[in-house]
Amino acid sequence: MIDIHGLRAALEQACPDCEIDAHDWPGGPAVVLRRGDRAAEVFWHREKSVFRVRYSWPRMFMNRVHWTDLAEAAGSAATWLSGATPREFAAAWPFADFVAVADAFESGDRIEYRWQVYRAHLRDHREFIEVALTEPRLRCMFPFTSMWWMSFRPTADEFRVPGPWVRAVGNGRFTVVPQDRRIEPEIDYGPAEAVQVCVVEMDRLGVPRPEDLTPRSELRPPAGSDG
């Protein structure tokens, strides 16, 4: 049985010189380790008998994985806190899927950063996003979500969005509405077709491209709100 003292001791050994905050949740003990602008949280889920490890940098959630082995949980946390680049981390721990997120963050491109964050974390829309990233008309737009819907702004700071709106309905299918999300569409599409419907609707609605408005601003740390 793993308790908070044993978990803390194991992580202190794997990650020396880190700031450590240990606490006990109803579901199990958790330890947060910090070094510089990076952090890793290791949580032991008693009921499922797995470790959950979450990595962040800086103040940005990067990934969360589950390990059944304490050595792997502690080892991956130690590698991340050592200052390894995202690519070095992924080479040591191939599960990492946030290299593109980190690259976009470092580049200062807010549009690319949002696409990559959604690609990593929006599971319901993932198939649509994979296709949208190959479509220049959508790739240059700033994606955002509202409730269960996704739409696209010309820039990160432009809020006048006439549509279209796309929503996952399950089994890799998506609905698209031009403007009014209160209207329940009767047709759904595969991801490639949904992307093309969005492109057609954007042109029909006159949604401007980023170059038609203000230049992209520098990336600022996410404020926590999605809109």
- Is 179 found in the same domain as 124? yes
Residue 26 lies in a domain: yes
197 and 120 in a common domain = yes
46 CB-contact burial (10 Å; exposed 0-12 / middle 13-18 / buried 19+):
middle
Asked if residue 188 and residue 119 are part of one domain, the reply reads: yes
Show which of 96, 123, 156 is a domain's final residue: 96
Helices (H), the chain: 4-14, 70-81, 86-92, 99-107, 110-121, 126-132, 136-139, 191-205
Domain edge (last residue) among 62, 96, 130: 96
Pair (159, 201) in one structural domain: yes
Distance CA 181, CA 202 (A): 15
Domain assignment present for 220: no
Q: Which of 64, 96, 128 is the last residue of a domain?
A: 96
Do 82 and 134 sit in the same domain of this protein?
no
- Domain assignment present for 223: no
Residues 22 and 55 placed together within one structural domain of the fold: yes
127 and 40, same domain (yes or no): no
Q: For every one of its 227 residues, what pLDDT tens digit does the chain have, with 9 covering 90 and above?
A: 688 899 999 999 999 999 999 998 888 999 999 999 899 999 999 888 899 898 888 767 777 778 888 999 999 999 999 998 888 888 898 877 778 887 888 788 899 999 988 988 888 899 999 999 999 999 999 999 988 899 999 888 877 777 899 999 999 999 999 877 777 778 899 999 999 999 999 999 888 887 777 554 444 544 444 54
User: Is the domain of 135 the same as that of 80?
Assistant: no
Residues 79 and 150 in one domain: no
How far is residue 14's CA from residue 11's CA, in Å, rounded to a whole number? Answer: 5
Q: Is residue 102 part of a domain?
A: no
In a domain, 130, yes or no: yes
| 56's tokens | 């962040």
Do 120 and 203 belong to one domain?
Answer: yes
- What is the domain range of residue 80? 4-96
Distance CA(57)–CA(16), nearest Å, equals 19
* 225 falls within a domain: no
Q: Is residue 10 part of a domain?
A: yes
Residues 66 and 127 in one domain: no
73 in a structural domain: yes
Structural domains in the chain (count): 2
What pTM, to 2 d.p., does this model score? 0.67
